[in-house]
Structure 1
Amino acid sequence: MKPQIFIYDTTLRDGTQGEGVSLSVDDKLKIAKKLDQLGVHYIEGGWPGSNPKDMEFFVRARELQLTHAKITAFGSTRRFGIKAEADENLQMIIESGVEAVAIFGKSWDFHVTEALGTTLEENLHMIYDSVRFLKENGLEVIYDAEHFFDGYKNNAEYALATLQKASEAGADWLVLCDTNGGSLPSEILQIVSRVRREIPTPVGIHCHNDGELAVANSLSAISAGATQVQGTINGFGERCGNANLISVIPNLQLKMGYSCVPEEQLKQLTNTSRYVYEIANISPANTQPFVGHSAFAHKGGMHVSAILKAGETYEHINPDVVGNMRRVLVSELSGQSNLLFKAQQLNIELDKTKPEGRRIIQKIKELEHQGYQYEGAEASFELLLRKGLDEFEEVFTVESFKVFMEKQGDEDIRTEATVKLCVNGQIVHTVAEGNGPVNALDNALRKALESFFPDIKDMYLTDYKVRVLSEQDATASKVRVLVESTKDGSNSWSTVGVSANVIEASWEALIDSMRYALMGRQDDAADWDETVQERQGILNH
Structure 2
Amino acid sequence: MTNVISIFDTTLRDGTQGEGISLSADDKLKIAQKLDQLGVHYIEGGNPGSNSKDIEFFERAKALKLRAKITAFGSTRRKNSLAEHDSSLLRIVESGVPAATLVGKSWDFHVHTALQTTLEENLSMIYDSFAFLKRNGVEAIFDSEHFFDGYKHNAEYALSVLRKAQDAGADWIVLCDTNGGTLPSEIHEIVSRVRSELSAPIGIHTHNDCELAVANTLAAVQAGARQVQGTINGYGERCGNANLCSIIPNLQLKLNYPCISDDQLQSLTTAARYVSEIANVHMPVGQPYVGNAAFAHKGGIHVSAIMKDSKTYEHITPGLVGNKQRILVSELAGQSNIISKAQELGLDVNSNNDKTKQIMERIKDLEHQGYQFEGADASLELLLRDAFGEMKEMFQLESFKMLVEKTSGTMNAEAIVKVTVDEQTVYTAAEGNGPVNALDNALRKALVQFYPSINNIHLADYKVRVIDEKDATAAKVRVLMESTDFKNTWNTVGVSSNVIEASWEALVDSFRYALLTMSKVDSIHAEPRAQLGLVNH
Deviation of 1:211 after TM superposition, in Å, equals: 1.1
Equivalent position SS for 2:374: coil
Deviation of 1:349 after TM superposition, in Å, equals: 1.2
Deviation of 1:214 after TM superposition, in Å, equals: 0.7
Which whole-Å CA distance do the structure 1 matches of 2:177 and 2:208 have between them?
A: 9
Residue in structure 2 matched with residue 179 of structure 1 by the alignment: 178
Residue in structure 1 matched with residue 33 of structure 2 by the alignment: 33
What amino acid sits opposite 1:59 in the alignment?
E
Which whole-Å CA distance do the structure 2 matches of 1:225 and 1:115 have between them?
A: 31
The answer on whether the counterparts of 2:404 and 2:414 sit within 8 Å (CA) in structure 1 is: yes
Does residue 506 in structure 1 map to residue 490 in structure 2? Answer: no
The answer on whether the counterparts of 2:393 and 2:526 sit within 8 Å (CA) in structure 1 is: no
1:399-450 Cα distance to aligned partner (Å, 9 max, x none): 776656666888866756586x8999x9979685755555666677789x86
Q: Which runs of 5+ in 2 are unaligned?
A: 528-537
Residue in structure 2 matched with residue 159 of structure 1 by the alignment: 158
The answer on whether the counterparts of 1:142 and 1:171 sit within 8 Å (CA) in structure 2 is: yes
Equivalent position SS for 1:73: strand
What amino acid sits opposite 2:502 in the alignment?
A
Does residue 455 in structure 1 map to residue 450 in structure 2? Answer: yes
Change in 2 beyond 3 A, CA 1:305/1:183: same
Deviation of 1:511 after TM superposition, in Å, equals: 5.4
Change in 2 beyond 3 A, CA 1:433/1:92: closer
The answer on whether the counterparts of 2:402 and 2:413 sit within 8 Å (CA) in structure 1 is: no
Residue in structure 1 matched with residue 44 of structure 2 by the alignment: 44
Which whole-Å CA distance do the structure 2 matches of 1:368 and 1:482 have between them?
A: 14
Which whole-Å CA distance do the structure 2 matches of 1:409 and 1:144 have between them?
A: 55
Change in 2 beyond 3 A, CA 1:404/1:43: closer
Residue in structure 1 matched with residue 22 of structure 2 by the alignment: 22
Does residue 345 in structure 1 map to residue 344 in structure 2? Answer: yes
Equivalent position SS for 2:465: strand
Which whole-Å CA distance do the structure 1 matches of 2:34 and 2:444 have between them?
A: 39
1:284-313 Cα distance to aligned partner (Å, 9 max, x none): 222211111111111111111111111111
Residue in structure 2 matched with residue 496 of structure 1 by the alignment: 493
The structure number with the bigger radius of gyration is 1
Which whole-Å CA distance do the structure 1 matches of 2:330 and 2:195 have between them?
A: 52
Deviation of 1:248 after TM superposition, in Å, equals: 0.8
The answer on whether the counterparts of 2:390 and 2:524 sit within 8 Å (CA) in structure 1 is: no
Deviation of 1:46 after TM superposition, in Å, equals: 1.6
The answer on whether the counterparts of 2:12 and 2:28 sit within 8 Å (CA) in structure 1 is: yes
Does residue 482 in structure 1 map to residue 473 in structure 2? Answer: no
The answer on whether the counterparts of 1:2 and 1:257 sit within 8 Å (CA) in structure 2 is: no
The answer on whether the counterparts of 1:18 and 1:236 sit within 8 Å (CA) in structure 2 is: yes
Between stretches 430-439 and 367-376, larger displacement belongs to 430-439
Which whole-Å CA distance do the structure 2 matches of 1:479 and 1:119 have between them?
A: 63
Which whole-Å CA distance do the structure 1 matches of 2:211 and 2:136 have between them?
A: 39
Between stretches 150-159 and 276-285, larger displacement belongs to 276-285
Deviation of 1:257 after TM superposition, in Å, equals: 0.9
Which whole-Å CA distance do the structure 1 matches of 2:106 and 2:38 have between them?
A: 33
The answer on whether the counterparts of 1:39 and 1:262 sit within 8 Å (CA) in structure 2 is: yes
What amino acid sits opposite 2:494 in the alignment?
G
Between stretches 461-470 and 190-199, larger displacement belongs to 461-470
Deviation of 1:245 after TM superposition, in Å, equals: 1.0
Superposition pairs for residues 299-310 of structure 1, below 5 Å?
A: 299-310=298-309
Residue in structure 1 matched with residue 64 of structure 2 by the alignment: 64
Change in 2 beyond 3 A, CA 1:246/1:398: closer
Q: TM-score, normalised by structure 2?
A: 0.86
Matched residue count: 518
What amino acid sits opposite 1:13 in the alignment?
R
Residue in structure 1 matched with residue 290 of structure 2 by the alignment: 291
Which whole-Å CA distance do the structure 1 matches of 2:26 and 2:330 have between them?
A: 43
Residue in structure 2 matched with residue 469 of structure 1 by the alignment: 467
Change in 2 beyond 3 A, CA 1:232/1:510: closer
Change in 2 beyond 3 A, CA 1:330/1:125: same
Superposition pairs for residues 105-144 of structure 1, below 5 Å?
A: 105-144=104-143
1:56-99 Cα distance to aligned partner (Å, 9 max, x none): 322332222223x2222222111111222222222222212122
Residue in structure 2 matched with residue 3 of structure 1 by the alignment: 3
Which whole-Å CA distance do the structure 2 matches of 1:156 and 1:411 have between them?
A: 63
RMSD of aligned Cα (Å): 3.3
Superposition pairs for residues 206-221 of structure 1, below 5 Å?
A: 206-221=205-220
Equivalent position SS for 2:274: helix
Between stretches 72-81 and 500-509, larger displacement belongs to 500-509
Which whole-Å CA distance do the structure 1 matches of 2:252 and 2:220 have between them?
A: 15
Change in 2 beyond 3 A, CA 1:398/1:219: closer
Q: Percent identity?
A: 63
Which whole-Å CA distance do the structure 2 matches of 1:411 and 1:368 have between them?
A: 38
The answer on whether the counterparts of 2:335 and 2:360 sit within 8 Å (CA) in structure 1 is: yes
Superposition pairs for residues 171-320 of structure 1, below 5 Å?
A: 171-320=170-319
Which whole-Å CA distance do the structure 2 matches of 1:40 and 1:306 have between them?
A: 37
Deviation of 1:484 after TM superposition, in Å, equals: 5.4
Deviation of 1:491 after TM superposition, in Å, equals: 6.1
Residue in structure 2 matched with residue 53 of structure 1 by the alignment: 53
Deviation of 1:376 after TM superposition, in Å, equals: 3.2
Deviation of 1:239 after TM superposition, in Å, equals: 1.3
Deviation of 1:366 after TM superposition, in Å, equals: 1.5
Deviation of 1:149 after TM superposition, in Å, equals: 0.6
Between stretches 457-466 and 190-199, larger displacement belongs to 457-466
Superposition pairs for residues 320-359 of structure 1, below 5 Å?
A: 320-359=319-358
Change in 2 beyond 3 A, CA 1:135/1:513: closer
The answer on whether the counterparts of 1:192 and 1:221 sit within 8 Å (CA) in structure 2 is: yes
Change in 2 beyond 3 A, CA 1:72/1:476: same
Deviation of 1:117 after TM superposition, in Å, equals: 0.7
Residue in structure 2 matched with residue 530 of structure 1 by the alignment: none
1:169-216 Cα distance to aligned partner (Å, 9 max, x none): 222221111111111111111111111112222111111111111111
The answer on whether the counterparts of 1:15 and 1:242 sit within 8 Å (CA) in structure 2 is: yes
Equivalent position SS for 2:273: helix
Which whole-Å CA distance do the structure 2 matches of 1:194 and 1:518 have between them?
A: 59
The answer on whether the counterparts of 2:389 and 2:524 sit within 8 Å (CA) in structure 1 is: no
The answer on whether the counterparts of 1:485 and 1:494 sit within 8 Å (CA) in structure 2 is: yes
What amino acid sits opposite 2:458 in the alignment?
T
Which whole-Å CA distance do the structure 2 matches of 1:101 and 1:179 have between them?
A: 19
The answer on whether the counterparts of 1:395 and 1:522 sit within 8 Å (CA) in structure 2 is: no
Which whole-Å CA distance do the structure 2 matches of 1:375 and 1:60 have between them?
A: 43
1:215-235 Cα distance to aligned partner (Å, 9 max, x none): 111111111111111111111
Which whole-Å CA distance do the structure 2 matches of 1:291 and 1:71 have between them?
A: 25
Equivalent position SS for 1:177: strand
Change in 2 beyond 3 A, CA 1:60/1:366: same
What amino acid sits opposite 2:450 in the alignment?
D
Between stretches 41-50 and 397-406, larger displacement belongs to 397-406
